[in-house]
């Protein structure tokens, strides 16, 4: 684990000393947008027009943020249009790598051995964390954007329109009329659940851990209650809010419950959340984006401060193929 400082790789664990043992996630560094005509998006600069074959996605199958982009790439019909590289699940002193291993797919553009080389290829003096996902532009030879919440909107927007046919016609996952409510749900889910599991797992004081884990389970109870009244988080249709919750729920019983000590309850103990998780997992294409082998290997072996002997637990089958009752 480490980061880039003025283009040089420095091996360093998260610093929680100045924050009372609390893990604070840093902002993503590349924030340009791909648009239909190359005009600038909500942030960054223009010049990134949606085109077939021009962009390439770097992910980890373990990472919940990258998983969002894999789901949208699949559901928006972009697999032929946007190439894919997959890092090795083990993230050690050199950060994410392309060491050979099952399901690892190297970098076809610059043959990087380490993900940080992709960042310095985009910006030779880059300072910051080297995270997945990344959307790379082959034409301009740079990273367009490395913030998953923005990438999924580009995939569901200009890229889906380019995919055409049934993809272009299906409703947006961020429909105009529901935006306010989706934003509110996203904010709660991001802070208390998506990032909440990390705040619990990476806490280095008892107080910081308890604060995060208590808030996490309050928020899970809220989502359970919401799903007892309606089919999806916002109304009766799947929106981006559901996929953003899904990637954390899918990892919960397998890794966060044990490894990050999010151990008050499992997702399979919540009737609505568990059935909803199964329903989303069974949406055609989604199971193929969910790789429990990379998920388990990454978390249990990469965080030396949490699991110093890197013991991979024997885990039960996640059970997400079993029938659900959400349509009933």
Q: Report, in Å, the least distance between residue 272 CB and ligand GSH.
A: 26
CA distance linking residue 282 with residue 280, whole number of Å: 5
Nearest to 50 by CA among 160, 171, 175, 170: 160
Among 58, 65, 232, 256, binds ligand GSH (CB under 6 A): 65
89 binds ligand GSH (CB under 6 A): no
Among 107, 137, 147, 253, binds ligand GSH (CB under 6 A): 147
Restricting to residues 230-249, which ones interact with ligand GSH according to CB under 6 A?
Answer: none
Q: Which tokens in the block code for residue 253?
A: 């019983």
Among 133, 157, 196, 201, binds ligand GSH (CB under 6 A): 133
290 binds ligand GSH (CB under 6 A): no
Binding mask 92-121 for ligand GSH (x = CB under 6 A): ---x--------------------------
Query: How far is residue 103 CA from its own chain's centroid?
Result: 18
297 binds ligand GSH (CB under 6 A): no
Contact 81, 163 (CB under 8 A): yes
Stretch that binds ligand GSH, among 105-113, 127-135, 218-226, 267-275 (CB under 6 A): 127-135
- Residue 15 neighbours by CB distance under 10 Å: 10
Q: For helices 206-229 and 179-189, what crossing angle results, to 10°?
A: 150
198 in catalytic set: yes
Restricting to residues 6-35, which ones interact with ligand GSH according to CB under 6 A?
Answer: 28
Cα angle, residue 197 at apex, residues 275 and 240 outer, rounded to 5°: 55
Nearest to 105 by CA among 83, 122, 85, 91: 85
76 in catalytic set: no
Contact 174, 239 (CB under 8 A): yes
Restricting to residues 31-60, which ones interact with ligand GSH according to CB under 6 A?
Answer: 60
CA distance linking residue 152 with residue 69, whole number of Å: 6
Among 50, 57, 130, 212, binds ligand GSH (CB under 6 A): 130
Residues identified as active-site: 63, 198
- The site for ligand GSH (CB under 6 A) is made up of 1, 28, 60, 63, 65, 95, 129-133, 146-149
């Amino acid at each position: 684990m480490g980061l880039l400082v003025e283009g040089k790789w420095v091996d360093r664990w998260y610093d929680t000393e100045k924050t009372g043992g609390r893990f604070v996630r840093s902002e993503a560094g590349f924030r340009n947008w791909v648009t239909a005509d190359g005009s600038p998006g909500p942030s960054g600069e223009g010049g990134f027009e949606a085109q077939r074959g021009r962009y390439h996605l770097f992910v980890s199958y373990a990472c919940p943020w990258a998983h969002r982009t894999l789901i949208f790439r699949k559901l928006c019909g972009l697999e032929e249009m946007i190439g894919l590289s997959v890092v090795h699940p083990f993230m050690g002193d050199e950060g994410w790598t392309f060491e050979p291993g099952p399901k690892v797919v190297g970098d076809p553009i610059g043959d990087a051995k380490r993900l940080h080389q992709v960042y310095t290829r985009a910006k030779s003096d880059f300072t910051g964390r080297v995270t997945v996902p990344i959307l790379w532009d082959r034409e301009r030879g740079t990273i367009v954007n490395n913030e998953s919440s923005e990438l999924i909107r580009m995939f569901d927007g200009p890229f889906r329109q380019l995919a055409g046919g049934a993809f272009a016609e299906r409703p947006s996952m961020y429909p105009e009329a529901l935006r306010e409510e989706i934003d509110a749900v996203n904010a709660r889910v991001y802070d208390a659940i998506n990032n909440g599991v990390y705040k619990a797992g990476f806490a280095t004081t008892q107080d910081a851990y308890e604060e995060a884990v208590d808030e996490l389970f309050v928020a899970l109870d809220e989502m359970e209650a919401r799903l007892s009244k309606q089919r999806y988080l916002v109304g009766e249709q799947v929106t981006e809010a559901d996929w953003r919750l899904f990637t954390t729920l899918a990892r919960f019983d397998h890794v966060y419950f044990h490894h990050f000590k999010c151990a008050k309850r499992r997702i399979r103990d919540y009737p609505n959340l568990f059935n909803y998780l199964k329903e989303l997992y069974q949406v055609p294409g989604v199971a193929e984006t969910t790789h429990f082998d990379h998920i388990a290997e990454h978390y249990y072996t990469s965080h030396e401060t949490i699991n110093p002997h890197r013991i991979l637990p024997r885990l039960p089958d996640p059970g997400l193929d079993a029938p659900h009752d959400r349509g009933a």
